Amino acid sequence: MTTGDWSDSWDRLMAKYQPGREQAIERMIDLIATRRDAPSPRVLDVGGGTGTLCSRLLARIPGAEVTLVDLDPVMLAIAGASLPSSVEVVRADLRDPGWTASLPYSGYDAVLAIMALHYLPPDRLTALYAELAGLVRAGGFVANVDDMPDGEAVASASDDGSWGAWWDRARADPVLGPAVVERARLFGDSPSAEWHPPAEWHLRALKGGPVDEPAVAWRNGAQAAVVAFKAR
């Protein structure tokens, strides 16, 4: 498959496992588009994967300055080959507190994470929220979209034939195959544990950063977006 085919197939896979993902992406782009005083908003896509958010954003706001950050070599290979050259594609490990040193800019109008942070443990995610908020320029916002069910936090690790089949095809691909091997070295072959606390937990964690009162800006079933703006 071509790089574009891989990107499309990943989006189809995500539509199965994260049915609200496309709607969440559009909602986040809506928030960016409401910044009428920033015709060329600077946007950081944290854990951006293959670049779905970046491509959707540029289709709507062509002048946006976009940075995508991820660690997964497979996702980075697809994003680097399919996104426009204007997008800064950065490899960085969000588990490392020094990850921001890899960014091309010190400030952004929007810092977004779409279904990307559920693999981090509570202490690290709390610290990461403060780091993300610290990157937001005055008038901008930080947002995280993920599974945030009502009630107690849950942890899960799951896999099935559809998910496994996608990675089997990637492993056999002559271009992506080496990246899959590197991915296994970085993350291991087994499914990673996922942690999905309720939105209230995320709101409390966001309060620890230099942003105004956070709120739930979007919800679709168990999936929600928590957003916090920084005062001008």
Identify the structural domains of the chain with CATH numbers, from first to last.
3-229 (3.40.50.150)
Token pair belonging to 219: 């919800």
- Please state the pTM of the whole predicted model: 0.84
DSSP summary character for residue 120: S
Q: Angle, to 10 degrees, between the axis of helix 177-187 and the axis of helix 73-82? A: 140
Query: Does pLDDT of 121 surpass 50?
Result: yes
Look at residue 188 and tell me whether its pLDDT is greater than 80: no
What percent of the chain stands above pLDDT 70?
Answer: 91
What is the predicted pLDDT for the residue at 159? 47
Residue 201 CB neighbours (<10 A)? 18
Q: Cβ distance 231 to 151 under 8 Å?
A: no
Number of C-beta neighbours around residue 168 at 10 A? 12
Rounded mean pLDDT, 126-149 = 94
Is the predicted pLDDT of residue 38 greater than 70, yes or no? no
CB within 8 Å of 230: residues ≥ 6 apart: 133, 136, 137, 138, 139, 140, 141, 142, 210, 211, 212
Quote the pLDDT of residue 55. 95
Reply yes or no on whether the pLDDT at 158 is more than 60. no
- pLDDT for the residue numbered 163: 67
Mean pLDDT across 69-98: 95
Q: Residue 39: exposed, middle, or buried by beta-carbon count in 10 A (0-12, 13-18, 19+)?
A: exposed
Q: What is the mean pLDDT of residues 117-141?
A: 94
Closest by CA position to 90, among listed 104, 109, 78, 74: 104
Q: Residue 155: its pLDDT value, please?
A: 39
C-alpha distances out from residue 157 to 96, 153, 195, Å: 23, 14, 9
pLDDT: which is higher, 200 or 209: 200
Query: Residue range 3-28: average pLDDT?
Result: 84
Residue-level pLDDT at 154? 42
Residue 182 has pLDDT above 90, yes or no: no
Long-range contacts made by residues 150-155, C-beta under 8 angstroms, separation at least 24? 150/198, 150/222, 151/198, 152/198, 153/195, 153/196, 153/197, 153/198, 153/201, 154/195, 154/196, 155/193, 155/194, 155/195, 155/196
* pLDDT class of 157 with cuts at 50, 70, 90: very low
In this predicted structure, the answer to whether residue 181 has a pLDDT above a threshold of 60 is: yes
Paired residues of 142 in beta bridges: 111, 228
Please give the average per-residue pLDDT across 66-73, as a whole number.
96
Contact 232, 139 (CB under 8 A): yes
Rounded mean pLDDT, 63-85: 95
Residue 141 pLDDT > 70: yes
- In whole angstroms, give the CA distance from residue 49 to residue 38: 25
31 contacts 139 by C-beta, under 8 angstroms: no
Residue 206 — φ and ψ, nearest 5°?
Answer: -65, -30
pLDDT of residue 144: 97
Q: In degrees rounded to 5, what are phi and psi of residue 44?
A: -110, 120
The pLDDT value given to residue 167: 73
